[in-house]
Structure 1
Amino acid sequence: MFHLRAAGVSLVLDTRGTAAHILHWGPDLGDFSASADTFVPAIPPSSIDVPLRLSLLPSLAEGWSGRPALESGHGFRLAEAHLQDQTIVVRSSSPDSAQEVVTELELSPEGVLRVRHRLTNRGDAELAVPGLDVLLPIPHEASELLDFTGLWSHERQPQRAPLRHGVWSRESRHGRPGHDDAFLMIAGEPGFGFRNGRVWATHLAWSGDKRIWAERSALGGNVLGAGELLAPGEIRLAPGDSYETPWLVAVFSDAGLDGLSDRLHPWIRGFKNTRMPRPVVLNTWEAVYFDHDLAVLSDLADAAAEAGVERFVLDDGWFTGRRDDKRALGDWTVDADVWPGGLHPLIEHVVSRGMEFGLWVEPEMISPDSALAAAHPDWILGSRPTPAPPGTPVSAAGPTWRWQRVLDLHEPGAYAHVRDRLSALLTEYPIAFLKWDHNRDLLTPGTAHRQTRALYRLLAELRAAFPHVEIESCASGGARIDLGILDLVDRFWTSDTNDPLDRQSIQRWTGILIPPEYLGGHLGAGAAHVTGRTSALGFRLATALFGSAGIEWNLTTATPAERRDIAAWIAEHKRLRPLLHSGTVVRADTADPAQLIHGVVAGDRSHAVFALVTLGTPAAALPPPLKFPGLDPDRLYTVRPIGVPPRTMQDAPPPWLAAGSVTLPGRVLVEAGLPSPLLTPEQALLLELT
């Protein structure tokens, strides 16, 4: 019997029989081991003649008729189990001893559970791996599901449904998680919200094809599960070889969705060694697009420096022949026609203005119209079978996507080409940051595993060689945001849209898993590039304040008044950055869906910043009061507005706001709140509490 306990969470694993069974995962039950036998279930009619309990590797062989852990259907018997550095290690074997599975279960001090399997072929013949998932039990009251879907520039849109009998499975076949990535599978008590209800959640830390699912069995067992989605024959193990699953990250909360973040954010901050504070960025994409010109970009760098920007990133269009998005990917040399002196003059100007320099790349891709494709057509993913018989013709599989194909990083020559070209750039130029893009699905069956593993290896090799260079994971916006790649990058580009109305939702839901300092959020132009929607400057500034802040706008076209407001916003962000990027993220459950309230509260609860956001027309003339979750009920707080004042439609504001500030006990602010000003749609009021 093994019992892991941390931060109000416990995992109980019974290893006394022929298989290891998870008796409990969820709230801490204290010393549970002595009572374990009392939780053995009854034996129902028309079933196996022993109690049915969920093992680590459930299968038909033990009476489990739900989705199995290993699809080959073998029954595994427990060989041995031990505790190693606060990790339970369990070894199980198939009846013929030809397959061995080692399972690791670890519980962090924050209460985050991680589980993975390693399957080893102990037989004499090759072994095909059809799929190997991690399954965890959830209780019957966890009967409502929340997961996510989305589109390009509309990622992580929530969807909720009851958990009925059968399997609810979300599968990704993009070769990357995709804009419709389920992201998290959350099961909870009906009606759970951000601040209420018990919830159990899983996330697969993997950047390739995957499935994440929930099942309610008519036999009584309820589970959450996840694993890499493998194509037939994609993983074949020679005798002695092993396949290791991605980590399943699992979290329990008795305080709603914010309780998940309360565990996940400190845990992620603990294992990430990312530089703080996060620099304010200006990215050139929506400022100049492909129109690269030294004089124009130097003027933009001057405007950025005057505003207080700390990092200047040159986006797509700098390399040979790249005048639009239809050509040249793979030819990672600076275009001598556009940049006769290389990038040195621009970088020298940027650095002289006190900023770091960053560069956009898309190393996993190749344009059919490129020198690299002409020289090495066999490096295009899907161009021929692997391994290819002699004389196999080259004909890339599937249609192009954004006029590009995928470079096969599993091919040694292609891998070396990308590594060496990026290394040459990082050696020649003082580049502090790479915006690493990935603008299409793979669309080549059976290649996602090897491509993802090659990507991880490439990122690790570059980070080891250039430890000062930070990397942003961008996949046509937010199509590759997961904890597998977070080990190797320092920032996510949350979405390709900078429209603040869309960003409010995208950032809200992405932030359940990922702390705000890893989520890039930029101030765009008044008319959004993606949607064409026009937004007030204050709304755009307030939306971009809370994450890894930046600008995606040609500041030379801004009015003097706008530039003053932007400079003041950057100064305010820098002042608040220690709080925003270390505190506890809180989100209120509001009665009116047109109104959002979210904020960040310091760890000692002495300081907080909140935003009241109106997404649309309120349901009532007088909206619900402003309540501030997460404060200390026994302390006094002064509340005052900051930032650009929002547009309102009211004959008079609430007296507390007209006075400029108010001081009240935390208990009043949490439970009763403050009368809300009457903001017009698509506005935000920022409030600082001290």
Structure 2
Amino acid sequence: MIHHLRAGGVSLLLDARGTGVPAVLHWGADLGHLDDGALAALADALVPAVPPSSVDDPLRLTLVPTLSQGWSGQQALAVHRDGRLDVDPALLSVERVNVDWDDVLLVDVGDAEAGLEVRTELRLSPEGVLAVRNELRNVAGTPLGVGTLDVVLPVPDRARELADHTGLWAHERRPQRLTPGHGVWLREARHGRPGHDDAYLLAAGTPGFGFRTGEVWTAHVAWSGDRRLWAERNPLGPAVVGGGERLDPGEVVLGPGEVLTTPWLVATWSDAGIDGASDRLHRRHRRRRGPLRPRPLVLNTWEAVYFDHDLPTLARLVDAAAAAGVERFVLDDGWFHGRRDDRTSLGDWTVDAAVWPDGLHPLAALVRDAGMELGLWVEPEMVSADSDLARAHPEWVLGRASTPEWRHQRVLDLADPGAWAHVHDALAALLREYPIAYLKWDHNRDLLSGSAHRQTEALYRLLDALREEFPHVEIESCASGGGRVDLGIADRVDRFWPSDTNDPLDRQEIHRWTSVLVPPEHLGAHLGDARAHTTGRSSDLGFRFATALFGHAGIEWDLTRASDEDRAAVATWAAAYRDLRGLLHSGTVVRADVADPALAVHGVVAEDRSAAVVALVALSAPGVSRPAPARVPGLDPDASYRVEVVDLGAGAPRTLDAGAPAWWTAVAGGGSVVLPERALGETGLAWPLLTPQQAVVLRLTAV
């Protein structure tokens, strides 16, 4: 039988005729309604020729491609039992169901001789997002070692250009592009977490695809440990993308009857460039997570006070935060037993009585009385060699004595039941004693030893248990910044920290690419000091305001040292954030294709396109004296919009205009101009000549 799933403008076509492993014939553009005869004709038309010096039957790229089928590319399934490696599964059954609004195919295949069965679950969401995972069962009486269990999907030959990401600490999600020939473009994470150089989202597209143009097929592995993501073209013909968990030899061995379930490979198709794929991913995530309460404006104490904790200092910061309109006050590292620097005490999760003789109760009372929520920093997966925990339980510390420390810390073996229980109980005790509404959950080093598979599974169990016990507590995923941003942990956390840098110039790019996968309401965006603590670069307040606005906004700045003028400006910016966050956190994220890399146009358009918030950004000096007009994508082509500047409190941006564009003259002084969408989205707005590291935020309202 040929199965055709359709949703959200996307079709998935699965050929399950015969006894072989079914094959995905198509996933991408909606094929429309097709009866059984048309489906059969379409499938037959796709049967390839048999070339010379090849397997004698037409080669099909199945759901579980293996060498025994003639597929010599990346294998989806590689197992070993008693020295035997070959696997040749055949179709057992196909079931179609509906789960959580997703149209689902459950495909079961098995190999009785090899003693295994594989269930492939394919889900097509109402938004047109395809999620696929495999489940491997050992049905024999002896152990089965698993080398690889991945998801492989075909892409058309026209998808010749690839894009993914790389990066490093404080410079995450840097895009990179290539057009490979025959062979495999393979990206593997070997950090025990995705890492700062994570491939993140792989896009295969028609040459030259952009934010708003071209066809793209994207793939992301929803897993927070070691993982693989690849694209492959080879002389056999089919081009593919694939991904899954990266396993070390011997890391997963299934006993009789045991099951291994892979992470989801989350895939999308778009004929409207990267933004089209991003919109599908955002809509799916928002539906799955449900509506969020308004994202509270945060103040985090890290870059304000670092380890210098005392009640009088923090009391002054609480007062300044409340005056600025902050809604959540987060106490960062330095509050627990013996913690005076970053070389000691991780694992000892009790409040330091020397600094806090009355516990955190006095601070919690100040925060509550000021009308704010209390948040707390923790790093539960790590342990300091100099800690009571490490001295009491050295067997809970992963690695040998020769395994290097990383940021002066080691990894706690959460897969050990005793270590897991210790962390769970310590965190639960804090959450029961104090009115903590938010945990900033950090993870500041790679594993370098132990099993990333077992560690990640234990982490998920821990997060799931705490969320069930304390459903009111929100959790942020921080991993020395953006080292663990993925859709596996996204089901368990409410916020990501995309990077440890608050430098707005770097953050512009980091947010642009991180938000392709994760909606902006889940991405922390903080207003830092005038001189960025990570880069030493100084930035105007207006540029910092405009950058931090487009996310879950916060402040990481000692406001007690700011001038009265700057504090008043922060209060204006905070009010603008509260006014706009309903739109910023629910609308469609749009990014214009701008030829000059010095300039950027991005924003959020309301679901009904009645309003938008858009930023025109000068990252550096443009390549020409008169940049091409700025086009604002995603608006209603039949509407006109009132355009006005959003007052963020910092005054007008710096420009070099000897004679400013007429529309800019009209709005820069607090006025407005009404323009048809064609002038905004097609012909564009003449750029005000912003100097480097300047931005203007516009509010567009349909009239």
User: For this structure pair, what is the TM-score category when the shorter chain's length is used for normalisation?
Assistant: over 0.9
8 Å CA contact retained: 1:431, 1:469: yes
Match of 2:535 in 1: 531
C-alpha distance after superposition, 1:50-96 (max 9, x if no partner):
11111011111111111110123412111111112221011111151
* RMSD over aligned Cα atoms: 0.9
Letter of the aligned partner of 1:684 in structure 2?
Answer: A
Mapped to 2, the partners of 1:238 and 1:657 lie a distance apart of: 69
Q: Does 1:25 pair with 2:27?
A: yes
Deviation at 1:397, TM superposition (A): 5.3
CA deviation map 1:162-193 (0-9, x unaligned):
03201100000100000000001110000000
Distance in 2 (CA, whole Å) between partners of 1:60 and 1:338 is: 63
Distance, in Å, in 2 between the alignment partners of 1:563 and 1:148 is: 37
Deviations, residues 570-614 of structure 1 (Å, cap 9, x unaligned): 100110111000000000001211000000000000100100111
Alpha-carbon distance in structure 2 between the residues aligned to 1:262 and 1:312: 32
Distance 1:410 1:52 in 2: 42
CA contact 1:195–1:259 (8 Å) conserved in 2: yes
Confirm or deny: 8 A CA contact 1:646 1:684 kept in the other structure. Answer: yes
Measured in 1, the distance between the counterparts of 2:293 and 2:623 equals 41
Query: Is the CA contact (8 Å cut-off) linking 1:380 and 1:396 kept in structure 2?
Result: no
Q: Distance in 2 between matches of 1:274 and 1:314?
A: 27
Counterpart secondary structure, 1:56: coil
1:264 is aligned, of 272, 275, 281, to 281
Which amino acid is the alignment partner of residue 201 of structure 1?
Answer: T
**Deviation string, structure 1 residues 18-69 (Cα, Å, up to 9, x no partner):** 2211111111112251322111111111111111111011111111111110
CA contact (8 A) 1:77 1:95 kept: no
> The residue matched to 2:78 in structure 1 has which SS?
coil
Q: Deviations over 1:192-221 (max 9, x none)?
A: 000000000000000000100000011111
SS in 1 for 2:213: coil
* Counterpart pick for 1:668 among 679, 682, 692: 679
1:67, 1:612 → 2: CA distance? 44
Aligned residue number for residue 700 of structure 2: 689
Aligned residue number for residue 82 of structure 2? none
Name the aligned partner's letter for residue 82 of structure 1: E
- 1:72-131 Cα deviation digits (max 9, x unpaired): 341211111111222101111115150100110010000000100000001111000011
Q: 1:511 is matched with which residue?
A: 515
Contact 1:379 1:411 in 2 (8 A): yes
- Which one of 188, 199, 215 corresponds to residue 198 of structure 1? 215
The letter of the residue matching 2:464 is A
Matched, 1:521 2:538: no
In structure 1, the gaps of 5 or more residues are: 383-394
Residue 150 of structure 2 is aligned to residue 133 of structure 1:
yes
Q: In 1, Cα distance between the equivalents of 2:417 and 2:200? A: 32
Q: 1:105 is matched with which residue?
A: 122
Of 181, 191, 201 in structure 2, the residue corresponding to residue 184 of structure 1 is 201
Q: Which residue of 2 aligns with 1:435?
A: 440
Q: How far apart are the structure 2 equivalents of 1:466 and 1:402?
A: 30
**Corresponding residue SS for 1:534:** coil
Offset of 1:396 from its aligned partner? 3.8
SS at match of 1:512: helix
2:408 corresponding residue in structure 1: 403
Give, in whole Å, the separation in 1 of the partners of 2:251 and 2:291.
Answer: 34
Alignment match, 1:146? 163
CA distance in structure 2 between the partners assigned to 1:396 and 1:111 by the alignment: 50
Contact 1:328–1:369 (8 Å) recurs in 2: yes
1:599, 1:609 within 8 Å by CA — same for their partners in 2?
yes
Equivalent residue for 2:95?
Answer: 82
User: How much does 1:652 deviate?
Assistant: 2.6
The answer (yes or no) to whether the contact 2:87–2:114 under 8 Å persists in 1 is no
Q: Which amino acid aligns with 1:129?
A: V
Residue 273 of structure 1 deviates from its aligned partner by: 3.8
Corresponding residue for residue 602 of structure 1? 606
Aligned with 2:516: secondary structure? coil
TM-score, normalised on structure 1?
0.97
1:427 aligned counterpart, secondary structure = helix
CA distances 1:256-307 after superposition (whole Å, capped 9, x unpaired): 0000111010100001146321000000000000000101101101000001
What CA deviation, in whole Å up to 9, does each residue of 1:508-532 have, x standing for no partner? 0001100000000000000001000
Give the aligned partner of residue 391 of structure 1. none
Q: Could you tell me which of 312, 324, 328 is aligned with 1:295? A: 312
Residues in 1 aligned to 2:392 and 2:322: alpha-carbon distance in whole angstroms = 42
Task: State whether residues 643 and 674 of structure 2, in contact with CA within 8 Å, keep that contact through their aligned partners in structure 1.
Answer: yes
Q: List structure 1 segments (4+ residues) > 4 angstroms apart after TM superposition.
A: none
Matches within 5 A, 1:229-378: 229-273=246-290, 275-378=292-395
Residue 319 (structure 1) shift: 0.4
- For 1:8, give the aligned amino acid: G
Distance in 2, matches of 1:204 and 1:574, equals 34
Say whether residues 1:12 and 2:18 are aligned partners.
no
Aligned residue identity for 1:46: S
Q: Please give the alpha-carbon distance, in whole angstroms, between the structure 2 residues aligned to 1:639 and 1:208.
A: 45
Residue identity opposite 2:15 in structure 1: D
Q: Which amino acid aligns with 1:266?
A: R
SS at structure 2 position matched to 1:130: strand
Q: Distance in 1 between matches of 2:105 and 2:586?
A: 31
Matched position secondary structure for 1:145: strand
Contact 1:274 1:490 in 2 (8 A): no
Equivalent-residue separation in structure 2 for 1:464 and 1:480 (angstroms) = 22
Tell me by how many angstroms 1:341 deviates. Answer: 1.0
Q: Deviations over 1:340-387 (max 9, x none)?
A: 1110001100100000000000000000000111111111012xxxxx
Deviation at 1:435, TM superposition (A): 0.1
- 2:83 alignment partner in structure 1: none
Counterpart secondary structure, 1:117: strand
1:422 paired residue among 424, 427, 450: 427
The answer on 1:473 being equivalent to 2:477 is: yes
Q: 1:221 aligns with which of 204, 225, 238?
A: 238
Amino acid of the structure 2 residue aligned with 1:62: Q
Q: State the secondary structure of the residue aligned to 2:133.
A: strand
Q: Given the alignment of the two structures, is residue 448 of structure 1 paired with residue 457 of structure 2, yes or no?
A: no
SS at match of 2:421: helix
Distance 1:452 1:140 in 2: 36
- Partner Cα distance (1:92, 1:358) in 2: 48
**Residue deviations 1:372-408 (CA, integer Å, cap 9, x gap):** 11111111012xxxxxxxxxxxx44510001100000
Gaps of 5+ in 2: 80-85
Task: Tell me the residue number matched to 2:55.
Answer: 48
CA distance in 2, matches of 1:111, 1:555: 45
Q: Is the 8 A contact 1:434 1:470 kept in 2?
A: yes
2:144 & 2:679 partners in 1: Cα distance?
64
The one of 149, 166, 177 aligned to 1:160 = 177
Secondary structure (helix, strand or coil) at the match of 1:282 reads strand
The letter for the 2-side match of 1:21 is A
Instruction: Show the counterpart of 1:500.
Output: 504
- Take 1:524 and 1:57, find their aligned partners in 2: how far apart are those partners? 49
Aligned AA for 1:281? V
Q: Secondary structure at the match of 2:77?
A: coil
For residues 610-621 of structure 1, what are the structure 2 equivalents within 5 Å?
610-621=614-625
1:36 match: 43
Structure 2 match to 1:388: none
CA contact 1:516–1:547 (8 Å) conserved in 2? yes
Give how far 1:413 is off. Answer: 0.9
- Give the TM-score normalised by structure 2: 0.95
Cα distance in 1 for partners of 2:130, 2:504 equals: 34
Letter in structure 2 aligned against 1:349: L
Paired with 2:377 and 2:143, the residues of 1 have a C-alpha distance of: 42
